Chain A
Amino acid sequence: MWQAPGAHDALIEARGLAVGYEGQVLVGDIQLQVRLGQVVTLIGPNGAGKSTILKTLAGQLAELGGCVLLCGKDLRQVSVRTRAQQLSVMLTDRVRTELLTCADIVEMGRYPYTGRLGAATPQDRQKVREAMELLQVWDLRDHDFMQLSDGQRQRVLLARAVCQEPRLLVLDEPTSHLDVRYQIELLSVLRHLAHDQGLGILMTLHELPLARRVSDWLVCIKEGQITLQGTPEQVFVPSVIDDLYDLTPGTYDALTGDVTLRVAQGAERDIDA
C-alpha cells in the first residue's frame, strides 16, 4: 500500500483532489505526490483525465475539490510569479509563432525572473544557452521556430521549460512527435534533471516501455479514479496493465514490455507497444 512520505520533501501534493471541467468531476479522490528527484508518470487509457490532472496541478484549471500543495503551500495562495519560479510546463497545445527564433522562445522561460520590461541579463542569456545545449537545440538558436520539424519544436519547448528553472517540471506527453532516438534522448535528459539536479518531474506518457524505464513512480488512472500507484515493478505486471487498458488477459508481456497483437485468424504478431 502506498505510504505518505514526510510532507516536507513533497514538491507537489494532491490531497483528495477532484479535477474536471465546468463543475463536472472527471477524476476524483486523487492522492499523489512528487518528491525531489523523482520522476512520476501518469498512465492510463485516452480520455481517462491524465491531462486534466496535470492542468489542475499546474494551476491552469480550478480544483473541483480537495487541494494542491506546491512546496507545502496551498496552490490557491501562491502568487503566479512564485508558482512560475517553482513549476514550469510543456503542453500539447500547438504553438504558432511569427518571426520568433528558438532562442526567443527559450528566453521566455526567464519570464518570472526578469524585470518590468523583460530585458534578459547576460546571466539570463547564459541560462538560455545552457538549457538549449542540454536539449541539443543550441545550433537552432537563430532559426525561426515555425520552420522546425515537430520533434525539434518539442525539444525547444522543453528547453524553454527547463530555462524557467523550476523545482518541478510538468510535461504533457513530452515524447509525442518524436522519433525513437529523440524519445530516448529526451527521457534520459529528464532522468538527468531528476536524479542529478533534483528536479521533480510529473508527466503523462503513452509509450509503456518508455514509461517503465524512465519512471520512479507510476500512477494508473482509469474511469475517474486512481486504480493503482507504485514502482515500475509493482505496476508493470501483466494483470495490472491488461486491466488498465482493457486488454485481453495475456496480451501484455511483462518481460519484454511488449504487447501481443492477436489477429482474427489466430495468427500472432508482435508489435512494439
Chain B
Amino acid sequence: MTRDARRDEATETYGAGRSTRALCVFGGLIALLTIALVANLCIGTVSVPVEQMLPILMGKFQGETAYQVIWNIRLPRLCAAALLGGALGLAGLLLQTLFANPIAGPYILGISNGAKLAVAVVMILILGDTRVMSSWMSLAAAFCGSLAAMAAVLAVSRKVRSASTLVIVGVMIGYVCSAATDVLITFASDANIANLRNWSLGSFSGINGGQVALMAIVVAAGSAATYLLAKPLGAYQLGEAYAESMGVNVRAFRIAVIIISSVLASCVTAFAGPISFVGVAVPHVARRLLKTSRPRVVIPAAFLTGSVACLLCDLIARTLFAPVEMSVSTVTAVFGAPVVIWVLLGRRRQVG
C-alpha cells in the first residue's frame, strides 16, 4: 500500500460517523431552539396567534396590546432566557473541567449565590433608597461576588481531594450567601421588595431591551473566549500534570477559566438571579447527545442545550399556574436535579 493510500484510510478509520452524529445533534438542537422561541413568543396570558407574529415582529400593529406584549415583555424575556441559559451551560462546562468534577456548576458550588449576595449588598446597603442600580453596577457587583465564592471553593479544593466534599462545601457556601441575602432583603425598603424577592429566587421577568443588549455583549465575549480555550480544555481532561506536559500553561489556563466562568455565571445572576441546576446538568446532556466530551463540539452544543432548557423551563414557570408565576429555578431544579442523580449513579457503576 502506498503511503498516501494509507493516510487516506487512516483519516477515515477512527472516529467514523462522528460528524454525522454531530450534524444530527446540532440540527435537532437548532430545531428545538426555534420551536422554544416561537412557543415563548406565542404562549402566555395574552395569546398571540402564530400568523400574527411575523407582522408584529416586522413592526406592524404598533398600537395594539399584542405588539406591546411581544416587544416589551416577551421578546426581551426570551432573549434573556436563551442567552443566559447558554451562559450557564458554558459556565458549568468550564467548572466541571477546572475541578475535574462532574457535579460542579455555578449554582452547586455556591458561585451564583455569592454573586447574588454581592448584588444585594451593593443595592441595599450601599445605594439604599436614593439611587437606582444600573445594569453595569449589578454586573460588576455580581462578578466580585462570584470571584469571592470561587476563591473560597478553590481554597477548599486545594485541601480536599474528594469530589463530593467539594460539592458539599460549595452547597454550604451557597446557603450561607443566600441566607445573608434574605436578611438584607428583609430590611430593604418596601418599593424594592417585590422585585428583589423575585430576582433572588431566579426569574427572567422584568428584563428590558437595554439589559438584553448588555448581556448579549457579555455572553458573546464569554462564549467566544470559552471556544478559544477548547484545545487546553481538552488536554486538561487527562489531568493537570499531563496537560502541562503537552504544553498547556496551566497557571494561565486556570486563571482564564476562573475569570470566564465567573463572568458568565455573574451575568446570569446579575440579570436573572441564581438559576439552579442548569449549569451542572446541561454539559452532561450535551456530552451524552454527542457521545463525546471533546470540547470543540461540546461547547456549542452545551450553549444550545442551555438555551433550550432555560426557554422551556421559563415557559413552564410562567404558564403552568398562570397568572401566578413560579420562579424559574423551581422548574429547572425539577428537571436538573434528576440529571445530577443520574450522573452520580452512572459514575458509581463505572467505578464499582
A residues touching B (Cβ–Cβ < 8 Å)? Answer: 55, 58-60, 80-81, 83-85, 87-89, 91, 93, 95-101, 103-105, 108-109, 111-112, 114, 116-119, 122-123, 125-126, 128-129, 141-142, 146, 164
Contacts and interface: CB of A to CB of B under 8 A. Distances in A.
Nearest to B96: A98
B230 A100 contact: no
Interface stretch (B72-80, B286-294, B320-328): B286-294
B210 interface: no
Nearest to B16: A142
8 contacts: A84-B246, A95-B242, A99-B287, A100-B292, A108-B242, A111-B231, A111-B247, A126-B11
A198 B261 CA distance: 44
B240 to A, nearest CB: 9
B63 interface: no
Contacts of A60: 241, 244-245
B245 A58 contact: yes
A129 B5 CA distance: 13
Of B11, B238, B294, the most chain A CB neighbours within 10 A belong to B238
Interface in B294-327: 294, 296
A162 B116 CA distance: 48
B248 interface: yes
Residues of B contacting A: mostly: helix
B15 interface: yes
B13 A129 contact: yes
Contacts of B15: 101, 103-104, 142
Contacts of A146: 350
Contacts of A95: 238-239, 242
B292 A99 contact: yes
A84 B247 contact: yes
A87 B242 CA distance: 12
Contacts of B238: 95, 97, 105, 108
Contacts of A104: 15, 292, 294
A100 B237 contact: yes
B185 to A, nearest CB: 39
A85 B11 CA distance: 23
A80 B287 contact: no
B294 A100 contact: yes
A203 B238 CA distance: 20
Nearest to A129: B10
A81 B245 contact: no
A141 B18 CA distance: 13
Interface in B11-32: 11, 13-16
B249 interface: yes
A117 B11 CA distance: 18
B320 to A, nearest CB: 34
A127 to B, nearest CB: 9
Given A111-B246, A116-B231, A146-B350, A129 B14 contact: yes
A101 B14 CA distance: 9
B7 A112 contact: no
Contacts, number: 110
B87 interface: no
B103 to A, nearest CB: 12
Contacts of B228: 116-117
Given A109-B246, A142-B15, A122 B10 contact: yes
A142 B234 CA distance: 17
Contacts of B231: 111, 114, 116-118
Contact of B248 (A55, A80, A105): A80
B242 A125 contact: no
B274 to A, nearest CB: 26
B102 A98 contact: yes
Nearest to A142: B14
B158 interface: no
A114 B242 CA distance: 17
Contacts of B296: 117-119
Contacts of B6: 126, 129
B241 A93 contact: yes
- 5 A-B pairs closest in CB distance: A118-B231, A84-B247, A111-B246, A103-B14, A129-B10
B235 interface: yes
Given A89-B245, A99-B291, A118-B231, 19 more contacts: A55-B241, A60-B245, A80-B247, A84-B245, A85-B247, A89-B242, A93-B242, A98-B102, A98-B237, A98-B287, A99-B288, A101-B15, A104-B15, A105-B238, A108-B238, A111-B247, A117-B227, A117-B296, A142-B16
A111 B231 CA distance: 8
Q: Which of B237, B245, B247 has the most CB of A within 10 A?
A: B245
B230 A118 contact: yes
Nearest to A87: B245
B277 to A, nearest CB: 19
Most chain A CB within 10 A, of B228, B244, B296, is at: B244
Contacts of A101: 14-15, 292
A129 B246 CA distance: 19
Nearest to A147: B350
Nearest to B244: A60
Contacts of B100: 96
A118 B295 CA distance: 10
A88 B242 CA distance: 9
A118 B246 contact: no
Interface in B247-268: 247-249
Contacts of B235: 108, 111
Nearest to B231: A118
B72 to A, nearest CB: 40
Nearest to B292: A99
Nearest to A130: B10
